[in-house]
Structure 1
Amino acid sequence: MRYYQLREEGTPRLAVEAAGGVYDITAATPRLRTFDDLLCAATITDSSADTVANDLLEKAATLPSDALENGSVSAPVLGEVWAAGVTYRISEEARKSESSMPEMYLDVYENDRPEVFFKATPDRTVGPGEGVGIRADSEWDVPEPELGVVLSGEEIVGYTIGNDMSSRSIEGKNPLYLPQAKVYDRCCSIGPCIRSADSIDDPHDLEMWMTISRDGEIRYDEATNTGKMVRSVEELVDCYVAHNAVPDVSVLLTGTSLVPDEGFTLEEGDVIEIGLEGIGTLTNTVVEV
């Protein structure tokens, strides 16, 4: 099942794509307005989110397919966003080329302990169709397409797409500048939906692709597979939750799978599209912040 947060003024509404149709879960049960609400209901009934949603399909209103088009939905979950770094060889190589201390990235890539860091709060996170930010004080900015793991406490409940916007020029000057390179206004995008964990056979074998367009011309177009990740989803989650007071709902991004060439930097007005097999496509336009 795929869960979407409908973009409406006032009352939030939760929709689910299942059984060949799109259904308004909130119309069936007004208390279920968000994916967080659905997780609470699943906890109370000692069942899964899919079970709760499936039981409501007969009472739920059917929605037209265009109800889920880009611009019609917002970020499917609002909570803390954390991220893992240097989990793909391409990311390790890119970090070495930008950094004044390249050896530290190789050490993380090959070490038993992964890099896990805080990425964004809900008010720094945007959804499909919204603007993602590049810092006005940065000269080299890139999107970072990533598989996002949705967690209820310490339990994996779903997957989404994340864009971990990054200033490579700021991080490259000194690794201690990582928070400034990663955490700022509109630094993260999540969406377009949450695909339930029970409906994903293997998160380590999903095709991922990204295109970047400027003035209608494609400037970047590459694809990869999550199977190239050097660490497992479970390993990254274990590191994130260990000795950490994790919130009721959070998202953990699992590392950068595609990196534009060294000479490329984002500009205001660029359109970024990130696709992930079985989940969908996350589209955002770049704005300066």
Structure 2
Amino acid sequence: MKLVTYRRTVEDEARLGALAEGVVLDVERLGYGVGLELPNRMLDFIAAGPAAWEAVRRLIEEGLVGWAIDAVIPAANVTLLAPIPRPTKNVFGIGLNYVEHVEESARSLDTSIDLPKEPVIFSKPPTAVIGPNDPIRHNAALTQQLDWEVELAAIIGTTARSVSKENALDHVFGYSVMVDVSARDCRRAGQWIVSKGQDTFAPFGPVIVTADEIGDPQNLDLWLTINGEEKQRSNTKHMLFKVDHLVSDISSCMTLEPGDIIATGTPSGVGAGRDPQEFMWPGDVLECGVEKIGTLRHPVVKA
């Protein structure tokens, strides 16, 4: 399934939908049509567990005959928001998780040339999250080095506490796209949250694709352009620590709960790693995507 959070007008509440054949299917109203009580928020739906997920999957597969009329909305008539507009806790970010990015970071950002022996974990607060087409804010008083990082995001479906690598993917609900926007000149004594966690620094979406449709998360192309010029292109097979390792590692010290988000790291091609260095400025347009999931587009604006 491809799941979204959408709004029909600026006055409407955000609601949970599923994308199917050019339409958005309102999940709660789909349930009304067949006497099922289903959530209207992404976080509630994820927390409802596999029985609810399977029920919605069956309703979609039934086709138009089984859909309530008021549940079907042309996709062109809605605005997509971040799939989880307000995560319940900080996004887990993973640094230095592609070998070539480790090398370019060592050249330009004074990080170690040695490959990490365990995942490098930081966080981005919920207030950093924005949805498709929302502007990335460039605050010139804080940064002159606004950088880009395209990433695969893994969304937790069931509580994971000290899980093994072998069982870790069983706890993943689905996958999405996230941009780890970074103010390279805002690192403080080795701490990254000011660099990574400013408002609008976590573009997220446009959909969550459930894990069953993705299959192997370690064989997905990902890419990013600035003003139409390609800056990053790679494949998730080049991750140093795979998704199963990340889930297992984080869950060994912190309980992962339904709706938690792990941004799994970026490949090489970031602005700070270029010669000469390149950064984003008001008027720029960032576009990026991950295979099987979709594309994000964001203008950069003056804060």
Give the TM bin, normalised by the shorter chain.
0.7 to 0.9
Match of 2:180 among 164, 172, 179: 164
User: Measured at CA, do residues 180 and 158 of structure 1 come closer, stay the same or move farther in structure 2, by a change above 3 Å?
Assistant: same
Q: TM-score, normalised by structure 2?
A: 0.81
Paired positions, count: 270
User: Measured at CA, do residues 29 and 11 of structure 1 come closer, stay the same or move farther in structure 2, by a change above 3 Å?
Assistant: farther
1:225 counterpart residue number: 235
Structure 2: gaps (5+ residues): 33-37, 61-65, 161-170
State the identity as a percent: 27
1:37-186 superposed matches below 5 A: 37-41=44-48, 43=49, 47=51, 49=53, 51-57=54-60, 58-60=66-68, 61-67=71-77, 72-77=79-84, 78-79=86-87, 80=89, 81-100=91-110, 102-103=111-112, 106-107=113-114, 109-111=115-117, 113-121=118-126, 123-136=127-140, 137-152=142-157, 153-154=159-160, 155-171=171-187, 176-186=190-200
Task: Give, in whole Å, the separation in 2 of the partners of 1:73 and 1:181.
Answer: 27
User: Measured at CA, do residues 132 and 247 of structure 1 come closer, stay the same or move farther in structure 2, by a change above 3 Å?
Assistant: farther
Q: TM-score, normalised by structure 1?
A: 0.85
Q: Give the deviation of 1:176 after TM superposition.
A: 1.8
Structure 1: gaps (5+ residues): none
Q: Confirm or deny that 1:251 pairs with 2:265.
A: no
Kindly indicate which of the two structures has a greater share of residues assigned to strand. 1
> Residue 102 of structure 2 aligns to a residue in which SS?
helix
> Residue 190 of structure 2 aligns to a residue in which SS?
helix
Contact kept in structure 2, 1:233 and 1:254, CA below 8 Å: yes
Task: Give, in whole Å, the separation in 2 of the partners of 1:283 and 1:220.
Answer: 14
Match of 2:41 among 34, 44, 48: 34
Contact kept in structure 2, 1:116 and 1:239, CA below 8 Å: no
